[in-house]
């Protein structure tokens, strides 16, 4: 079992993408920073660890105005970027438990627990 605590700024779906001058959508720099922050935190805690069939439990605290479902996609992308899993679609089961909302102006927090699933 692997436990990782992350603190940072989660990015909402509204801020995930931006349009270029031709109207094409790209991931925003804020979204890349979020993914990179998650990946770096995992690499610092568990360098070189790779799970083949991971399960994931996430408990998190977000801004009072944040939509809880927007948090998960960037988190899963960051987990994949860390190298802990080959593809975030291989993570199953995923259990998400939002906790109390944090006051505005404070950082978001997540506690991630990974285990090798017996699928």
Q: What does the mean pLDDT of the chain come to?
A: 84
On the question of pLDDT at 37 being above 90, the answer is yes
Main-chain phi, psi angles of 3, to 5 degrees: -115, 130
List domains and CATH numbers for the chain: 2-116 (3.30.1330.70)
Mean pLDDT confidence for 103-111: 80
pLDDT at 38: 92
DSSP designation for 116? E
H/E run at residue 2: strand 2-8
pLDDT at 102 over 80: no
Q: In what order do the strands lie in the sheet with 108-116?
A: 2-8, 108-116, 54-61, 94-98
Q: What is the pTM of this model?
A: 0.84
For 47-69, the pLDDT digits (tens) are 788 998 889 998 888 877 777 77
**Given pLDDT bands bounded at 50, 70 and 90, which one contains residue 94?**
confident
């Amino acid at each position: 079992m692997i436990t990782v605590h992350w603190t940072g700024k989660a990015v909402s779906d509204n801020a995930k993408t931006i349009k270029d001058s031709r109207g094409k959508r790209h991931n925003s720099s804020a979204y890349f920073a979020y993914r990179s922050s998650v990946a770096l935190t995992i690499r610092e805690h568990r360098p070189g660890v790779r799970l083949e069939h991971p399960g994931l439990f996430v408990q998190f605290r977000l801004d009072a105005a944040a939509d809880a479902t927007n948090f998960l996609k960037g988190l899963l992308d960051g987990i994949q970027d860390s190298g802990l899993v080959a593809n975030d679609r291989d993570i199953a089961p995923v259990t998400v438990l939002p906790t109390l909302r944090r006051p505005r102006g404070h950082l978001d927090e997540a506690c991630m627990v990974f285990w090798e699933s017996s699928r």
